[in-house]
């Protein structure tokens, strides 16, 4: 359970603040850097909203880099501890050979179509649900999928903040 309070976060210098929150938005410390000036926060929701706004107000290129920082789902490569835990919670670390191959094909198709990996807040979802969602979303327009991926990134960030902070 989280032991870091929002008040403690407010009292940190900027470097400590960024170091503490840099993994909330996958290897993108610039999000925390931009949110730091919005302190003090009165709730986890306020921290999340500030970080969400930093992403929404960023350039398209910065947003794309943020999306590209996420690992492919079901991939067995190096990733952040948070991503590894989230994927494990959805059983993506124990895919059958057939499931793994299906995920690899879908990941490749998705990445070729949109230029970034498929992103979904997978915590607690089953591999079958994730695969079905991948199959559905690969048919989205580029603009719709870009926004959907950003929305999923915000949900992942919210879940990570809930794990990290206590009110």
The residues carrying an active-site annotation are 70
Handedness of CA 149, 153, 154, 156 (dihedral sign): positive
How far is it, in rounded angstroms, from Cα 80 to Cα 102? 23
How far is it, in rounded angstroms, from Cα 2 to Cα 23? 15
């Amino acid at each position: 359970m989280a032991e870091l309070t929002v008040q403690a976060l407010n009292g940190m210098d900027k470097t400590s603040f960024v170091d503490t929150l840099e993994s909330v938005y996958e290897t993108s410390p610039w999000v925390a850097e931009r949110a730091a000036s919005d302190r003090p926060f009165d709730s986890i929701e306020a921290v999340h909203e500030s970080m969400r706004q930093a992403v929404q107000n960023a350039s398209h290129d910065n947003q794309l880099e943020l999306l590209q920082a996420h690992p492919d789902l079901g991939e067995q490569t190096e990733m952040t501890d948070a991503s590894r835990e989230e994927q494990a919670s959805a059983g993506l670390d124990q895919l059958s050979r057939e499931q793994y191959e299906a995920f690899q094909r879908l990941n490749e198709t998705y990445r070729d179509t949109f230029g970034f990996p498929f992103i979904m807040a997978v915590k607690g979802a089953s591999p079958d649900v994730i695969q079905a969602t991948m199959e559905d979303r690969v048919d989205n327009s580029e603009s719709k999928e870009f926004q959907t991926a950003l929305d999923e990134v915000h949900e992942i960030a919210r879940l990570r903040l809930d794990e990290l902070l206590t009110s």
